Amino acid sequence: MVKGFVSLVGAGPGDPELLTLKAVRCLAEADVVLFDDLAAGPMLAHARAGAELIAVGKRAGRASPKQGEIDRLLVDHALSGKRVVRLKSGDPGIFGRLEEEMLALKAAGISFEIVPGVSTASAAAAAAGLPLTRRSEARRVQFVTGHDVTGALPADRNMAALADAAATTVVFMPKRTFPALVEALVAAGLSPETPALMAEHVGCPDQRLTRSTVGALAAQLAEGVSDKAALILYGPLMEDL
């Protein structure tokens, strides 16, 4: 039996112009494309005619494919000899459950490659016209997740790191837990006036950037959240230059 090949591809934040050349080539050569909700739309126009397109996106509060089902689809299609692209939003190695898919492929003896993509964090800062680092003021960038597997704020937080006023912190999937996180941050010494940026649907036509402070943003989100995918950046650089 001739086994296929899997490309685990980062689609970037949503703007098809931010796809890498390698991502475009992988799509053009694929027999099957398994894609996330945020890695769909115009990006799929690069898939070759006749390729099978399978939506496997996971969104909070909606019925979504389980990770085990996605792993099984990757393995089954590759075992049938097909070239498979797993198109993942942002960069696949940043809160994209990349490792679980890699392990499933390794266990099945299937060859694969990882094609990095533009991280949503970088794209959000660029859209706002801001850097993520500054030599004298923000020498460190940290990426954290806003929730654990249960949807709750992770219990094993490093509050000293998260409350570091000299770092740029990027919180992925933050909306529902950000008020609780900010309460803990302020208790750990972070000023509620720390500049913050909420970036929703980065790279998409309905992109929205909200400049605020961690305290004001937490109060806003405590009143209710939309279903737009978002991330929140906070730290000394999240103000207009």
Do 76 and 145 fall into the same domain?
Answer: no
Of the candidates 3, 58, 82, 228, the residue annotated as catalytic is: 58
Do 30 and 108 fall into the same domain?
Answer: yes
Confidence of residue 25 (pLDDT cuts 50, 70, 90): very high
Beta sheet of 52-55, edge-to-edge order? 52-55, 32-35, 83-88, 5-10, 111-115
Do 218 and 132 fall into the same domain?
Answer: yes
Do 12 and 48 fall into the same domain?
Answer: yes
Statement: residue 209 has pLDDT above 60: yes
Predicted pLDDT at 61: 54
In a domain, 240, yes or no: no
Show the DSSP H helices in 1-146 as ranges: 21-29, 67-79, 98-107, 120-127
Mean pLDDT of all residues in 128-137:
91
In a domain, 100, yes or no: yes
Do 112 and 20 fall into the same domain?
Answer: yes
Mean pLDDT of all residues in 2-10:
94
Give the end of a domain, one of 71, 98, 118.
118
Do 108 and 9 fall into the same domain?
Answer: yes
Give the end of a domain, one of 62, 91, 118.
118
Mean pLDDT of all residues in 111-136:
95
Predicted pLDDT at 2: 74
Mean pLDDT of all residues in 48-69:
84
Question: 166: domain range?
Answer: 121-234
Do 202 and 214 fall into the same domain?
Answer: yes
pTM of the model: 0.91
Residue 141 belongs to domain with CATH number: 3.30.950.10
Predicted pLDDT at 128: 95
Statement: residue 60 has pLDDT above 60: no
Catalytic-residue membership of 58: yes
Do 125 and 230 fall into the same domain?
Answer: yes
Of the candidates 36, 71, 91, 164, the residue annotated as catalytic is: 36
List the structure tokens of 8.
């685990």
Do 143 and 163 fall into the same domain?
Answer: yes
More confident residue, 40 or 58: 40
CA distance 116 to 36: 15
Residue 22 belongs to domain with CATH number: 3.40.1010.10
Task: Specify the length of the chain in residues.
Answer: 241
Mean per-residue pLDDT over the chain, rounded: 93
Give the end of a domain, one of 95, 118, 141.
118
Per-residue pLDDT reduced to its tens digit, 145-199: 998 888 888 888 899 999 999 999 999 999 999 999 999 999 999 999 999 999 9
Please tell me what DSSP assigns to residue 134. Answer: B
Per-residue pLDDT reduced to its tens digit, 134-143: 988 888 999 9
Per-residue pLDDT reduced to its tens digit, 73-108: 999 999 999 999 999 999 999 999 999 999 999 999
In sign, the C-alpha dihedral spanning 69, 71, 76, 81 is positive
Do 95 and 130 fall into the same domain?
Answer: no
Confidence of residue 1 (pLDDT cuts 50, 70, 90): low
The count of structural domains within the chain is 2
Predicted pLDDT at 150: 81
**The CA-based dihedral angle spanning residues 173, 93, 13, 75, taken in that order and rounded to the nearest 10 degrees:** -100
Do 109 and 130 fall into the same domain?
Answer: no
Do 214 and 153 fall into the same domain?
Answer: yes
More confident residue, 238 or 193: 193
